Amino acid sequence: MDKEVAAMPRHVGFIMDGNGRWAQRRNRKRTFGHKKGAEVIEEVVNECFLEGVEVVSLFAFSTENMSRPQEEKDRIFDLLGKFLKKYSKKLVEEKIRLIVSGDLSPLPQNLAGECALQMAKTAGFSEKTLNIAINYGAKAEITAAVNSLIREGKTEVTEEDIEGRLYTGGLPPVDLVVRTSGEQRLSNFMLWQCAYAELYFTDVLWPDFHKEEVKNALVWYGTRKRRFGGV
Ligand code: FPP
């Protein structure tokens, strides 16, 4: 990485937005945009790990996206399954731990099974982590964490208690969030983990987001002064 980068984020989260618009601008179906969007993921993730990022989180599908037409959901689930199958060799070769965050119970059984299998196979790796959020919502994640502590008899909880029950328990917090397509919001993505994240917004649509764009975001991050509430 260029020497002007002062600091490298340990954890980067991507809100992969704009697939539908990318396709519509080409008079194609939204699902074509998702296919193209899935194709750039490997390049983006590789670039992050190459630059020294330890954890990459991808917002692939929100709980709210569950209300999309069945055809679009099926296509996204299919792409995710194909991605996991294709990427599984690399996960092992490059010792990348896979985490899938979200409620997997309403997903097609073969996809939920593939997620569980790849998570189990890579659970022992610790240097690099790929976290894919699917049927995920941060408020639901935090609520479930607190409820599980209550079920264990806790009447008062600490931040550490809650943190330990999140899908990302034990991982560093998100340092940098990248959202494509010009929208400037978090959309219920990793709200706890993003408490002090720097937010990078770009007009580039996700299918056009390549490694040069990753570099731009990392260089921008290096210019930020992070005070974490201090002076
Ligand atoms: C947001 O664009 C994108 C999604 C809801 C789905 C993202 C899914 C993929 C990139 C493919 C599958 C994932 C993996 C990990 C292989 P949008 O549809 O909201 O676009 P729009 O805002 O232009 O309508």
| Tens of pLDDT, residues 159-196 | 999 999 999 999 999 999 999 999 999 999 999 999 99
Side-chain-side CA neighbours of 169 within 13 Å: the count stands at: 12
Longest CA span, the chain: 56
Instruction: Tell me, in angstroms, the distance from the centre of ligand 1 to residue 179's CA.
Output: 12
Q: Which ligand 1 atom lies nearest to the CA of residue 59?
A: 7
Q: Which two tokens stand for residue 187?
A: 């959309």
Lowest mean pLDDT among 5-9, 39-43, 133-137, 139-143: 5-9
16 C-alpha to center of ligand 1: Å? 6
Q: How confident is the model at residue 5 (pLDDT cuts 50, 70, 90)?
A: very low
Calpha distance 100→107 (Å, rounded): 12
The pTM score is 0.94
CATH number of the structural domain 11-222: 3.40.1180.10
5 SS3 class: coil
Taking the domains of the chain in order of start, what are their residue ranges?
11-222
Known catalytic residue at 147: no
- 2 pLDDT tier (thresholds 50, 70, 90): very low
Q: How far is CA 164 from CA 129, 161, 169, 188, in A?
A: 17, 5, 4, 19
17 carries an active-site annotation: yes
Distance from residue 72's CA to the centre of ligand 1 (Å): 10
CA angle 107, 113, 116 (to 5 degrees): 105
Through-space distance between the first and last CA atoms of the chain, rounded to whole angstroms: 29
Per DSSP, the three-state class of 125 is: coil
For the Cβ of 83 lying below 6 angstroms from any atom of ligand 1, the answer is yes
Return the residue whose CA atom lies nearest to atom 5 of ligand 1: 61
Whole-angstrom distance, CA of residue 37 vs CA of residue 79: 10
Instruction: Identify the pLDDT of residue 69.
Output: 94
